[in-house]
Structures are given as C-alpha cells and as structure tokens.
Structure 1
Amino acid sequence: MFTQSPLIKENQKTPILNMIQKNPREEGLFLALADLLLPGFDRQIENAIDSDNDTLIEAAERAKRLIASAKASAGKKLANLKVADITKLAMTSTGDSVMGEKIYIRQGCIACHAVDQKAVQKGPYLGSAGSKFTKDYLVQSILDPNAVVAQGFQTELITMKDKTAHLGFVTREEGGVIDIRNIAGIVTQIKEDMIAKRDHQPQSMMPAGLAKTLTVTEFSDLISYLVSMKE
C-alpha cells in the first residue's frame, strides 16, 4: 500500500466515503475510486458488486481490480513494471515527502541536483522543483530523462581546433567567450575563435534507469518530496 500522509489520505477518502454513504448506487463514485486507487473501501465495493445494477457492478469490479493491482505493485521494483503503469501509480499516489527526502539523498540525486542555492550547481536546481515543474513532468523526467530536458540544460559537445572536447551545459555566452559547465559542476571558459564545432546532444546527461531499483512506494515518496520543494 502506498505510504501517504494520514491527513492527505483522509482528505481524499472522506468526501468520497460521505458521497457513497449518501448514494451507494452512484457508479461515478466507484469510477473515482478506480482513478484515485484509494484503498479502504472494500465493504462499499463489495456491497455495490452484490447489487442488481449492471453498470454499478461493472464500476465497482473495476475499482476492486485496479486497487488490488495497485496494492500488489506498490512493493515491486520499477524495473519490473511498464512506464505507463509506474506513471499512473505515481500520479495517483500522494506519497510521503519526508521519506522522499531520505530517498533523494540515498539515491545520490543530491550529487547532481542541488536543493540549496549556495551549493555547487551541476544539473538543474531542484530546490524549487514544485514551483517550476508539474508532477507529471517530474515523473517523466526521471523515468525517461531524454524525453524532457529542462530549458538551459541541453547537453552540448564542443570540439576545439586542437581536437580536445568539452561536454556539458552552456551557462553563458558573452564577448566571444563561452562558459560550459560539466556534470561535476566545473565551469570552463572557452574562446569562440578556438572552437571547431558545436553539437547539441539528443541525450540528457542524466542516465536513464536511475530509479529502477526503487519500489513504486519509494518512487511515489521521491516525487512527493520534489513536488513539496517550493520557494
């Protein structure tokens, strides 16, 4: 089962529970349960399945099936699930941001993505991730780094006339000089007249598969932490 803040979890469940109690034959409420993957409605779902309303039965059975699947998937590693399934589970789960912060550090995200503006900046700054990016953007950018690259962080390969090369993000171009920052956060100044070739790379400098060892619950916690980061 997803690890969630009890308050947020109850805020999701209570209105639906109240509506089901008032109108237990409203199939739309069971469709909502299926979409939100909310646990804790077993009795209401079974009552609906035992009704004589085919549409209601179908909606309740769908909710039962999807919620059971979500529970079963929560402890699975991302490597064993399809991206579409991970995305749906992450988008419908609230997660635990406190646990997410620990996962952020444990997984080494902090090594490339600072959350403190005073720290050495390497990859995109995520101290205000919740203000700058939508939840679905954050989910996709971790699952498929090459699909969405934050503006200003397109990888560039600069080949010099002396055959040396620099790979990183261009952070400044001014007065015939280019500043390029590599993944280690080291900034190198390059004179434009010494450049032989500049190529934009389609791949993100963030490797794919970094989250594959996480469970669905852990991934949801990580996303919750990033969403909570607002300045």
Structure 2
Amino acid sequence: MRTLTALAIGWITCVALVSAQNPERRPRPLPSNLPETSPFTSATDLEIGRKLYQGRCGHCHGQSGEGGRGAVLNAGNFRRGGSDRELFVTIRNGIPNTEMPGAFNLPDIEIWRVVGYVQQLARQGTAERSAGDAVAGAMVYQKNGCATCHRIDAAGGFIGPDLTDIGAKRALRYLRESIVDPSADIPLDYRLVSVTDRRGRNVSGIHLNEDEYSIHLRDIDGNLRSFMKTELTGITLPRQSLMPAYASLPPVDVENLVAYLSSLRPARRP
C-alpha cells in the first residue's frame, strides 16, 4: 500500500472546483451595512424564529437550547461572540471544520429571526450543573486512560474528539450518554472505517474522506493512511465508536466524570 500524495492533491483540487461550481454551498458576502442589533424583534418575528430554530437547529442544540451534539445555547455564553451581529455571522456562514453548517440558503430576515430566538433562549435559560464532583472526575479521567485518545489543552491523544472546551459545547445528558454508550451518537468527524487489502490485511481508523478511486483514514496510532480502492477487497463503515463503552463504571464515577467534563470551559477549571 503506498502513499497517494499526488492523488490527495488531486482530490483537494476537485473539491475546490466543485465548491466553486456550487456557490450556494459557500458563505455569501456579508451585507456592507450589517447592523449590530437585529432589526426584527417583534413578537411575530420571535415566533417565526422559534419555528425556524426548532425545525433547523433543535435537533443538535436541543429544543430549549440545552445542547446535544451541538453547543449549549441557553447558558448565555457563546464562544464566537454573543452579540446579534456575531450570532448572525455564525448562523449564516457556519463554523469551518465543525459539524455546524451555514444557513446558506436561508434569507437574511429569517436568520435575524433565529438570532432573536437564540437570544431569548440565552436570557431565559439556566446552565445545567452536575451533581458530581469535578475534582474526583478528573481522577476518573486519568485512571481510565481517557487521555490516550482525547486531549485537553494540547495534552493527550488525537483519535478521539478534543475535550478542551467540551463543557461549553455539550449538555450533561450528551456527555453522560457518550461515556456509557458512545456508539449512540457518533460525531461525523469520528466515524469508524475498516478496509481490507488483497492480502487479507485489515486497517481500521477514523474516516477522513473518500472519492470514487480512493479512501483516506487516520489509524488508531494517529497515522494518515491512503488507499486506492483497486487495492482493496472490502470497505466497511461499522456503526460503532472506537471508544469503548463505560456502562460498567460505578454510577458515582460516571457522574463525577460528567462533572469534570462539564467544567472544561474557556474559563477556569478545577
């Protein structure tokens, strides 16, 4: 199996060309006179914003902004800025290299209405607090070797998601589920793929990208691997996480670990 440097460059070029030919999937230029505050704040605007949010955003962020696979929105803390204008830009253009897509096809007036409803959630909501002990949870994290795959402040592995600010991004219930049943909701950037070559050798890792001719993954040692599909006899995408389930952990350890992860925010940590 050989490294496909030229093919990788070609793949990137193709992606760029496809993006150029599909401008509706690219961020639109911002209006030159974009206001700092939303011009659409009536009760009708907020009701329309609520319906848009629940239909487009609630699946990831929670119907009340409590978070899920998307960031918590009802605690009043927004990592990319919480002004109306900043929220408008984030919703309109999305966040590159994350699962947060841009609302490329949504009219600006409707984006403003979603902004208004998100601000309402931020004012009315309260941040969840775990009943666990964050300091004890840090010990659970170390004892169970979580740093082998995950990293916090650049310390740790690269196979699993970066947990540096996970407390600001995920709700308690999502953190808890991710510990005891990680395969229940696998982040798109961490889907498992397994390939088998003509000699029967198997390589598993994180699916990075794929086209008609090749597939690229990051193996469990963190190495980037590229394969021509003509060299392979099988490609499978198991619906399971590389992370083992910790359902057998004592409930108190699970809750303490949840408390520790929830404390990992841009602000101070225990």
Matched, 1:200 2:237: yes
- Partner Cα separation in structure 2 for residue 229 and residue 193 of structure 1: 44
Picking from 129, 140, 163, the partner of 2:177 is 140
Partner of 1:213: 249
- Give the whole-Å Cα distance in 2 for the aligned partners of 1:212 and 1:135: 19
Describe the shift of the 1:181–1:175 C-alpha distance in structure 2 as closer, same or farther (beyond 3 A).
same
What is the distance in 2 between the residues matched to 1:178 and 1:230?
35
Aligned counterpart, 2:85: none
The residue number in structure 2 matching 1:55 is: none
Q: Is the 8 A contact 1:114 1:122 kept in 2?
A: no
Q: CA deviation at 1:222?
A: 0.7
1:102, 1:218 → 2: CA distance?
Answer: 9
Matched, 1:168 2:205: yes
Q: Is the 8 A contact 2:216 2:227 kept in 1?
A: yes
State the 1:195 CA deviation.
2.8
Give the match for residue 151 of structure 1: 188
Distance in 2, matches of 1:93 and 1:102, equals 16
Which secondary structure state, in structure 2, belongs to the residue aligned with residue 100 of structure 1? helix
Query: Normalising by the residue count of structure 2, what TM-score does the alignment of the two structures yield?
Result: 0.45
Q: Could you state the TM-score of these two structures normalised by the residue count of structure 1? A: 0.52
Task: Report the secondary structure of 2:152's partner residue.
Answer: coil
- Structure 2 segments unaligned to the other structure (5+ residues): 1-127
Deviations 1:7-50 (A, max 9, x none): xxxxxxxxxxxxxxxxxxxxxxxxxxxxxxxxxxxxxxxxxxxx
Q: Secondary structure at the match of 1:103?
A: helix
Take 1:221 and 1:177, find their aligned partners in 2: how far apart are those partners?
Answer: 43
Match of 2:140, SS state, is helix
Query: 1:189/1:120 Cα in 2 relative to 1: closer, same or farther (>3 Å)?
Result: farther
Q: Name the SS of the counterpart of 1:212 in structure 2.
A: coil
Larger radius of gyration: 1
Gap change, CA 1:104 and 1:176, over 3 Å in 2: same
Q: Distance in 2 between matches of 1:119 and 1:141?
A: 18
**Structure 1 residue identity aligned to 2:164:** G
Q: Which amino acid aligns with 2:193?
A: E
Q: Distance in 2 between matches of 1:176 and 1:164?
A: 19
Aligned-pair identity in percent equals 29
Q: 1:99 maps to which residue?
A: 136
Query: Which amino acid is 1:190 matched to?
Result: F
Paired amino acid for 1:133:
R
Structure with more of its chain in helix, by fraction: 1
C-alpha contact 1:112 1:184 (8 A) present in aligned 2: no
Tell me which of 250, 253, 257 is aligned to 1:222.
Answer: 257
Answer whether contact 2:131 2:259 (CA < 8 A) is retained.
yes
Q: Shift of residue 227 of structure 1? A: 1.1
Work out whether 1:185 is the aligned partner of 2:226.
no
Q: CA RMSD in A?
A: 2.6
- SS of residue paired to 1:124: coil
* Cα distance between partner residues in 1 of 2:220 and 2:173: 25
In the TM superposition, residue 213 of structure 1 has moved relative to its aligned partner by: 3.5
Match of 1:125 among 113, 138, 162: 162
CA-CA distance at 1:126 after TM superposition? 1.6
Could you tell me how far apart the structure 1 residues matched to 2:223 and 2:145 are?
Answer: 18
Classify the secondary structure of the residue corresponding to 1:152. helix
**Counterpart for residue 61 of structure 1:** none
Contact 1:104 1:222 in 2 (8 A): yes
The unaligned stretches of length 5 or more in structure 1 are 1-90
